[in-house]
């Protein structure tokens, strides 16, 4: 049910974010659809946790009075599946930038990969990627990075609660991971490569859960907008 009164009272929409879309693209698309359908000049819409353009999967979008609850959703654990490319690194720790260094992988075995993954489970500190939206001196880190500016980054306290290797088909390693708020899977990819005595970057990522919310119950943004337009 998506009548205006219901939307104003507040809803949490489960959206399956497409590849290449930013989280704000999704928010703007939904807001525009609501404004156009009900001939409004403004309406509150916000997301509860950024998902990178190169990632797909679950995005919680709060509308109406539900925007007041965004903070409580941002603090929930998150689950991801994806793949690491072993034997190379990129400045962004993913496919946003080109490979800048290659590493030997002859010593890497499936057993070493499994053991290394287990060593990452627990509370720890993690450095966010330089290509991220974390702010330093009033600017986002990626703004410094794209200008070639060096900036010192402070580590964050995070927790990796589960880290499962699903398959090893070198140079690709498929994984599932459950993490606390503030964890960067791109940084995990980089750190994982270093721990293997090699290098790695994130080659694919999909967010599957946020707390008890599951991407299986999410709807594609284009389908939501199309259905919304046709409702009477």
What are the tens digits of pLDDT across the range 3-48? 888 899 999 999 999 999 999 999 999 999 999 999 999 999 999 9
- My answer on whether 13 and 122 are in the same domain is no
My answer on whether 171 and 204 are in the same domain is: yes
185 and 223 belong to one structural domain: no
For residues 54 and 116, membership in a common domain is answered with no
Is the same domain home to 201 and 93? yes
| Pair (104, 175) in one structural domain | yes
| Active-site hit among 3, 25, 52, 77 | 52
- Identify whether residues 138 and 99 lie together within a single domain: yes
By residue range, what is the domain housing residue 94? 78-210
Q: What is the pLDDT of residues 75-112, one digit of tens each?
A: 999 999 999 999 999 988 999 889 999 999 999 999 99
| Closest of 192, 3, 31 to residue 103, by C-alpha | 192
Question: Is 52 among the catalytic positions?
Answer: yes
Q: Are residues 63 and 34 in the same domain?
A: yes
- The number of distinct structural domains making up the chain is 2
Domain shared by 32 and 121, yes or no: no
CATH number of the domain that residue 136 is part of: 3.30.2350.10
One domain, residues 99 and 162: yes
pTM: 0.90
pLDDT score recorded for residue 18: 96
For the chain, what's the residue count?
Answer: 232
Quote the pLDDT of residue 94: 95
CA dihedral 144, 96, 30, 210 (to 10 degrees): -90
On whether both 83 and 164 belong to a single domain, the answer is yes
- List all residues 6 or more positions away from 126 whose beta carbon is below 8 Å from its beta carbon: 155, 156, 158, 183, 184, 187, 188, 191
The pLDDT tens digits for 119-171 are 999 999 998 887 655 555 555 555 545 555 556 677 899 999 999 999 999 99
Residue 109 shares a structural domain with residue 22:
no
111 neighbors 97 (Cβ within 8 angstroms): no
């Amino acid at each position: 049910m998506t009548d205006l009164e219901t939307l104003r009272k507040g809803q949490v929409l489960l959206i399956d974010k497409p590849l290449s879309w930013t989280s704000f693209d999704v928010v703007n698309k939904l807001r525009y659809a609501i404004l156009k359908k009900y001939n409004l000049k403004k309406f509150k819409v916000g997301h509860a946790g950024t998902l990178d353009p190169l990632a797909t999967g679950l995005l919680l979008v709060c509308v109406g009075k539900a925007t007041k609850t965004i903070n409580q959703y941002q603090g929930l654990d998150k689950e991801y599946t994806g793949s690491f490319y072993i034997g190379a690194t990129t400045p962004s720790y993913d496919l946003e930038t080109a490979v800048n260094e290659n590493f030997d992988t002859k010593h890497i075995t499936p057993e070493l990969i499994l053991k290394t993954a287990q060593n990452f489970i627990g509370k720890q500190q993690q450095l966010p990627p330089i290509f991220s939206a974390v702010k330093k001196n009033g600017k986002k880190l990626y703004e410094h990075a794209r200008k070639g500016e060096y900036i010192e980054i402070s580590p964050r306290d995070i927790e990796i609660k589960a880290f499962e290797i699903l398959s090893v088909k070198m140079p690709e390693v498929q994984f599932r991971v459950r993490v606390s708020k503030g964890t960067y899977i791109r940084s995990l990819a980089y750190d994982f490569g270093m721990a293997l005595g090699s290098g790695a970057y994130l080659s694919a990522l999909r967010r599957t859960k946020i707390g008890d919310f599951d991407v299986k119950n999410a709807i594609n943004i284009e389908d939501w907008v199309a259905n919304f337009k046709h409702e009477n």
